[in-house]
Amino acid sequence: MNLIFATNNRHKLTEVNQILGGTIHLTTLAECGITEDIPETSPTIEGNALQKARYVWERTGRNCFADDTGLEVDALDGAPGVHSARYATDGHDFEANVTLLLRNLEGVECRSAQFRTVVALIVDGREYIFEGVVRGRITCERHGEGGFGYDPVFVPDGEELTFAEMTPEAKNAISHRGRAMACLAEWLAENK
């Protein structure tokens, strides 16, 4: 089965290929001639995932999906949430985002948080939504070199290591994106 994955984020593409690899062939945006940044202007994670998938569907008429993720920190009332990519700056500056997050949590004891991924799938013009959540906590400093984004400061519940210290397989087995993609894969297996 062939699906366009509406992302320009190579980290995500690698992860999703590892998760879905073998069952679904992912076509990249570049391969179907979409080189511009897809607008993400919705105030919600769900809205952004749908906005990206619709953008691709409207231009290609091909089955596609998009994902959007937010890190929701309880002590910050759910921030950075939908603003996770642009928390500190206008660009996707992972370093600056983590630095700002750690600064905003300085001296804060309650460090619980969750990653939430929403996947929007469009098949033959019909829209479907899947969600994956992983609960955990924000560390006081960075640990590990793997992964991307907030991975060096997020320890999932029941684990000792940050996502950045885990192997890709260990992260994917319990991560927000892994869980959302597993729902997507299950739906595709049952319906396509």
Q: Which residues of this chain interact with ligand IMP, rule CB under 6 A?
A: 9, 67-69, 71, 84-85, 92, 94, 97, 147-151, 163, 175, 177
Say how many residues make up the chain: 192
Of 65 and 150, CB closest to ligand IMP: 150
Q: What angle do CA 42, 45, 51 make, to 5 degrees?
A: 50
Helices (runs of H) and strands (runs of E) counted in the chain: 5, 7
Q: Which of 67, 68, 74, 93 is catalytic?
A: 68
CB nearest ligand IMP: which residue? 149
Which is closer to ligand IMP, CB of 63 or CB of 152? 152
CA terminus-to-terminus distance, the chain:
8
Q: How far apart are CA 51 and CA 98, in angstroms?
A: 26
Give me the least distance between CB of 177 and ligand IMP, in Å please: 6
Task: Note if 77 is an active site residue.
Answer: no
Nearest-approach distance from CB 56 to ligand IMP, in angstroms: 15
Min separation Cβ 24 and ligand IMP, Å: 19
Q: Residue 95 Cβ, how far from ligand IMP at the closest point, in Å?
A: 10
CB 137 within 8 A of CB 191: no
| Contact present, 155 and 94 (Cβ < 8 Å) | no
Residue closer to ligand IMP (CB basis): 9 or 28: 9
The number of angstroms, rounded, from the C-alpha of 179 to the middle of its chain's C-alpha atoms is 11
Q: From CA 155, how far away is CA 150, in angstroms rounded?
A: 10
- Pick the closer one to ligand IMP by CB: 71 or 120: 71
Structure tokens at 51: 């906005």
Nearer to ligand IMP, 173 or 190 (CB): 173
Minimum CB separation of residue 108 from ligand IMP in Å reads: 19
Helices 10-20 and 176-191: angle between axes, nearest 10 degrees: 50
Active site residues: 68
